[in-house]
Structure 1
Amino acid sequence: MRSTANHAPPQRTKRSLATVTPDSEKLYDYCVYDSDIATGYGVGALLLLAAAQAVVMLASKCFCCGRGLKPGGSRACALILFLFAWLTFLIAEACLMAGSIRNAYHTRYRGMFVGESVSCETVRKGVFAAGAAFTFFTAILSEFYYVSYSKSRDAAGGAPYGGSNIGMGTYS
């Protein structure tokens, strides 16, 4: 007869796991982590996000350099989007950096100095998820910023907003 019990396979986790291990002389405990792939992904995402932000800022001359923009709705929208894109960029970078640093932090000598039991903490899923969400927001806001910036720049045309030409008429 077959058993009717439902045996589910064990859940496999993608997060780093840690175990408390005593040193060879049994003076202190430390944490041994099984993998550290999340740290590499976090640092990679951090560097790629910084590179993408640099490309957008170089293409638009960081909103403050280059040709003047025509006053109006597009310029105001570009300014607001510029500020929000930088805000979400800084939050995304902070989340990715905090997650990467926290994931890479191995409490090797913590038990020796503190004298308490060692806590092998791992990064919460939400830290990298927040970094990913704010990276997405940064991408969307940066794209809309560049569209508004380009629209205002193209509408400015030549002088007086678009160039430094000084009009010299012929006088008789």
Structure 2
Amino acid sequence: MASIIVLVSVLLLDVIAFGLAVAAEQRRSKATVTPDMVKEYDYCVYDSDIATGYGVGALLLLLAAQVVVMLASKCFCCGRGLKPGGSRACALILFLFAWLTFLIAEACLLAGSIRNAYHTRYRGIFGGNPLSCETVRKGVFAAGAAFTFFTAILSEFYYISYSKSRDAAGGAPYGGSNIGMGTYS
């Protein structure tokens, strides 16, 4: 039977990570082009940088949730054998898709956090080329939040399928090392 403690802790970590990713999308840095006092240069003035912290927090919580699931299931490949059948096949497919969505979510959150933390300096001379203040694109953190949500669902179902297959394996030949000794004449 799947551990309720594992399921609840992973769900809690994933929900908080999702919330932080959504908050990062809403609070991402915005910039305005401002001339200096002498009006020789234009420079970028950025508002708060809190979205970087939210993005990194979401990244770390999602990583922690993935670690908990992988430790509880012994990363699918270590530990007792699983009973062949539908539960094992389902667990394998969910395992692969959970890792795929996890990697995409982590990449989005990391890229968004790095780009949000990047602030340009003096870049344009007044009256010259227009200045471009670089900010994170709209939707990067939202994509991270969406894939965090997918990862949460897939990893929960993966752990349930894994546990079902593990429990069905029981003893030998899949779950133990019992050696049956027959009578020989």
- Normalising TM by the smaller chain, what interval? 0.7 to 0.9
- Residue deviations 1:62-105 (CA, integer Å, cap 9, x gap): 00000000000000000000000001101111111111111111
Aligned partners of 2:135 and 2:148: how far apart in 1? 22
Kindly tell me: are residues 9 and 32 of structure 1, through their superposed partners in 2, closer, same or farther at Cα, counting changes over 3 Å? closer
Kindly tell me: are residues 167 and 29 of structure 1, through their superposed partners in 2, closer, same or farther at Cα, counting changes over 3 Å? farther
Match of 2:165 among 146, 152, 162: 152
Count how many residue pairs are aligned between Structure 1 and Structure 2: 163
Whether contact under 8 Å (1:40, 1:100) holds in the other structure is yes
Bigger radius of gyration, 1 or 2? 1
Whether contact under 8 Å (2:24, 2:55) holds in the other structure is no
- Residue deviations 1:106-150 (CA, integer Å, cap 9, x gap): 112554899854311322331111111110110000000000000
TM-score, with length taken from structure 2: 0.76
Q: Once the 2 structures are TM-superposed, how far is the Cα of residue 167 of structure 1 from its aligned partner? A: 2.6
Whether contact under 8 Å (1:110, 1:118) holds in the other structure is yes
Whether contact under 8 Å (1:92, 1:131) holds in the other structure is yes
Kindly tell me: are residues 87 and 11 of structure 1, through their superposed partners in 2, closer, same or farther at Cα, counting changes over 3 Å? closer
TM-score, with length taken from structure 1: 0.81
Aligned-partner SS, 1:52: helix
Note the aligned Cα RMSD (angstroms). 4.5
Kindly tell me: are residues 110 and 83 of structure 1, through their superposed partners in 2, closer, same or farther at Cα, counting changes over 3 Å? farther
Whether contact under 8 Å (1:29, 1:108) holds in the other structure is no
Aligned partners of 2:58 and 2:162: how far apart in 1? 26
- Residue deviations 1:142-171 (CA, integer Å, cap 9, x gap): 000000000000000011100223233465
Where in structure 1 are there 5+ consecutive unaligned residues? 1-7
Aligned partners of 1:114 and 1:63: how far apart in 2? 62
Residue of structure 1 equivalent to 2:25 = 10
Is the deviation greater in 87-96 or in 161-170?
A: 161-170
Kindly tell me: are residues 54 and 111 of structure 1, through their superposed partners in 2, closer, same or farther at Cα, counting changes over 3 Å? farther
The alignment-based identity, stated in percent, is 91
Residue of structure 2 equivalent to 1:72 = 85
